[in-house]
């Protein structure tokens, strides 16, 4: 299947954070070396109840 890019998603404002988890020693949550796990969704998709274009960002600290 070919990969296509939607130009409407090229800007930061086109995305919304759906879930963000950050490393927290107090509760024993470890993500790599002190980073974060973030699920992003296109804002336009959320208004339509569409969740098939979610992306995950895993960052290290």
- Burial (CB < 10 A; 0-12, 13-18, 19+), residue 38, is middle
**pLDDT value for 39:** 94
The separation between CA 18 and the C-alpha centre of its own chain, rounded to angstroms, equals 7
**pLDDT value for 44:** 93
Question: What is the residue extent of each domain of the chain?
Answer: 12-59
User: One digit per residue, pLDDT tens: the chain, 61 residues?
Assistant: 455 688 888 898 999 999 998 888 888 877 777 678 899 999 999 999 999 999 998 887 6
């Amino acid at each position: 299947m070919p990969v296509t890019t939607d130009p409407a998603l090229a800007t930061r404002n086109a995305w919304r954070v759906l879930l963000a988890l950050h490393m927290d020693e107090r509760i024993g949550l470890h993500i790599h070396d002190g980073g974060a796990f973030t699920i992003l969704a296109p804002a336009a998709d959320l208004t339509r109840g569409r969740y098939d274009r979610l992306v995950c960002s895993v960052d290290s600290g």
